C-alpha cells in the first residue's frame, strides 16, 4: 500500500534527524482551546458534550494538541518531537476532507531560532524527497516582518494594535485600512472638545484630584488622546505603504534587495528590517523558493516564518511555521520558542 510506504519512509527521516515520537490527545477541552487560541478555531471544531456536560472536541490541529501535551508534561526543556495521527476539521467546501491524516514535527523550547527554522523545513523537504515526490514548489512568508513595519510607522498605538491583531483576517483587515485611509472613525467635534478641555486643565493645580485621579494623570492621558487623530494626507501615505509592502512577491534570494527598494521608495528607516538572517538561512534549501509578504495570514498563532510545500498539481502537501506565543496562550507563564510542520498524507497521491 503506497500510503503505508510513505508513512514508513517519512518516519525514518524524522528519526534520523533526531525527532522522538510523542502522541497528542485526540479529545480536547473545546472551551479551553477557544479561550486560549482564539475564535478562529470554533468554526473548525467538531464538538460534543461528555457525560458530565463538559464541552469537548476532536483535535482540530495537531500542533495545538502537541503543545497542550508538552505543557501537561510540565516540560520547559528543548524538545524535538514527531507525531502522526488525524486532525478533524469542519469545512465549508464539500471538496475538503473532514479527517486529515498528518505526520508532523515540532521543536519546542530551543533558543536557536534560525537553526530550528531551517531544521524543520529541511527535515520536511528531505521527507518529501525520500518518498520520491517530484516537481515540488515552496512558498515562504514571515509574519514578523509585517509587525516590524507597523511598529515603524507613525500612527497611533491603538491603530498599530488593531492592524497587528487582525492581520490574519484579510477581509476585516482591508476594512481597517479603508477606515484608516479616510479617517472614518474620527469624530472632529469630539477632537475639538478634547483639545479645549486639555488647554483648560493645563492651568489647574497638577496635584489636584478629580474623580480620584490627579490632574497630571488625566492630562497625560488627554495628551495621548488629542494626538490620536491623523492627517488625512498622511493616512493615505501610510495605507499605501502597507499595501505596497503586502504586494512584495519574489524569489527568496531577491527579497533583501526588494525590501531595500521598498524602504528607499517610501522614505522609511533603514533599520526597519535590519535582521533577515532567519529568512536568508532558508535559501540554503532552495534559493528560488517564492517569498510573499502577504503569505501565512490564515492561522492566527503564527509569529514568524511560515511555509507551504506544493506538489506538481499545486496541492498543498506540507505546511509549517514559527509560533512563539502559542504555548503562552495555552497556559505557559512565558513565551516558549516553537516551530513545526506537518505533512498532509491525504494529498500525497499523484
50-60: b (≥16 Cβ within 10 Å) or e: eeeeebbbbbb
Q: What angle do CA 292, 297, 257 make, to 5 degrees?
A: 20
Q: In terms of residues, how long is the chain?
A: 350
pLDDT in tens, 212-247: 677 787 777 666 555 554 455 688 899 999 999 999
Burial class (CB in 10 A: 0-12, 13-18, 19+), 14: buried
pLDDT-derived band at 202 (thresholds 50, 70, 90) equals: confident
With cell 494538541, the residue in question is 65
pLDDT reported for residue 76: 63
Three-state SS for 314? coil
pLDDT reported for residue 169: 85
Nearest to 117, CA basis, from 305, 302, 274? 305
C-alpha cell at 298: 490564515
Nearest to 319, CA basis, from 121, 150, 154, 156? 121
pLDDT reading at 187 higher than 50: no
Nearest to 318, CA basis, from 89, 10, 108? 10
Q: Any alpha helices (H) in 131-266, and if so which ranges?
A: 143-152, 157-165, 170-182, 188-201, 215-226, 232-245, 255-265
C-alpha to C-alpha distance for 28 and 47, rounded to whole angstroms: 9
DSSP 3-state helix, strand, coil percentages of the chain (rounded to 5)? Answer: 45, 20, 35
Q: What is the pTM assigned to this prediction?
A: 0.80
Sign of CA dihedral 265, 269, 270, 273: negative
The mean-pLDDT minimum among 67-81, 83-97, 202-216, 289-303 falls in 202-216
| Residue 29 contacts residue 56 (beta carbons within 8 Å) | yes
C-alpha to C-alpha distance for 274 and 142, rounded to whole angstroms: 14
The chain-wide mean pLDDT, for the chain, equals 85
pLDDT in tens, 167-178: 988 889 999 999
pLDDT in tens, 5-41: 888 999 999 999 999 999 999 998 888 877 765 566 6
C-alpha to C-alpha distance for 340 and 198, rounded to whole angstroms: 51
pLDDT in tens, 87-113: 888 876 666 778 888 999 999 999 899
C-alpha to C-alpha distance for 91 and 115, rounded to whole angstroms: 35
Q: How crowded is the C-beta side of 189, counted as CA atoms within 13 Å?
A: 0
Q: What is the mean pLDDT of residues 41-67?
A: 86
C-alpha to C-alpha distance for 305 and 320, rounded to whole angstroms: 8
Nearest to 163, CA basis, from 183, 177, 152? 177
Sign of CA dihedral 48, 51, 55, 57: negative
Q: What angle do CA 107, 109, 114 make, to 5 degrees?
A: 65
pLDDT reported for residue 275: 85
Sign of CA dihedral 245, 296, 18, 122: negative
State residue 30 phi and psi, 5-degree precision. -65, -40
Chain centre to alpha carbon of residue 16: 29
Angle between helices 188-201 and 215-226 (to 10 degrees): 150
pLDDT reported for residue 48: 87
Highest average pLDDT, of 242-251, 305-314, 323-332, comes from 242-251
Residue 186, Ramachandran bin (φ over 0: left; ψ between -120 and 50: alpha; else beta) = beta
Three-state SS for 106? strand
Amino acid at each position: 500500500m503506497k500510503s503505508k510506504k510513505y508513512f514508513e519512509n517519512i518516519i525514518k527521516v524524522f528519526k534520523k534527524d533526531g525527532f522522538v515520537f510523542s502522541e497528542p490527545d485526540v479529545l480536547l477541552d473545546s472551551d479551553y482551546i477557544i479561550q486560549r487560541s482564539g475564535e478562529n478555531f470554533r468554526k473548525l471544531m467538531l464538538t460534543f458534550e461528555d457525560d458530565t456536560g463538559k464541552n469537548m472536541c476532536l483535535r482540530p490541529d495537531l500542533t495545538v494538541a502537541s503543545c497542550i501535551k508538552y505543557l501537561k508534561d510540565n516540560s520547559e526543556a528543548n524538545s524535538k518531537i514527531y507525531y502522526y495521527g488525524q486532525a478533524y476539521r469542519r469545512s465549508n467546501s464539500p471538496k475538503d476532507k473532514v479527517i486529515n491524516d498528518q505526520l508532523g514535527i515540532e521543536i519546542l523550547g530551543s533558543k536557536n531560532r534560525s537553526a530550528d527554522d531551517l531544521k524543520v523545513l529541511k527535515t520536511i523537504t528531505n521527507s518529501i524527497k525520500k518518498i520520491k515526490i517530484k516537481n515540488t514548489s515552496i512558498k515562504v512568508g514571515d509574519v514578523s516582518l509585517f509587525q516590524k513595519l507597523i511598529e515603524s510607522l507613525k500612527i497611533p498605538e491603538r491603530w498599530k494594535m488593531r492592524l497587528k491583531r487582525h492581520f490574519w483576517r484579510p477581509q476585516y483587515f482591508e476594512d481597517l485600512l479603508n477606515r484608516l485611509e479616510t479617517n472614518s472613525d474620527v469624530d472632529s467635534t469630539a477632537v475639538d472638545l478634547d483639545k479645549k478641555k486639555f488647554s483648560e486643565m493645563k492651568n489647574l493645580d497638577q496635584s489636584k484630584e478629580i474623580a480620584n485621579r490627579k490632574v497630571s494623570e488625566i492630562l497625560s492621558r488627554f495628551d495621548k488622546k488629542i494626538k490620536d487623530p491623523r492627517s488625512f494626507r498622511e493616512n493615505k501615505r501610510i495605507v499605501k505603504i502597507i499595501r505596497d509592502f503586502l504586494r512584495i512577491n519574489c524569489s527568496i534570494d531577491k527579497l533583501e534587495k526588494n525590501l531595500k527598494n521598498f524602504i528607499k521608495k517610501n522614505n522609511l528607516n533603514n533599520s526597519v528590517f535590519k535582521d533577515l538572517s532567519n529568512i536568508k538561512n532558508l535559501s540554503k534549501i532552495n534559493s528560488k523558493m517564492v517569498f510573499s509578504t502577504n503569505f501565512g495570514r490564515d492561522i492566527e498563532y503564527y509569529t514568524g516564518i511560515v511555509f507551504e510545500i506544493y506538489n506538481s498539481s499545486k496541492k498543498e502537501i506540507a505546511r509549517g511555521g514559527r509560533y512563539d506565543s502559542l504555548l503562552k496562550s495555552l497556559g505557559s507563564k512565558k513565551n516558549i520558542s516553537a516551530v513545526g510542520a506537518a505533512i498532509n498524507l491525504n494529498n500525497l497521491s499523484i
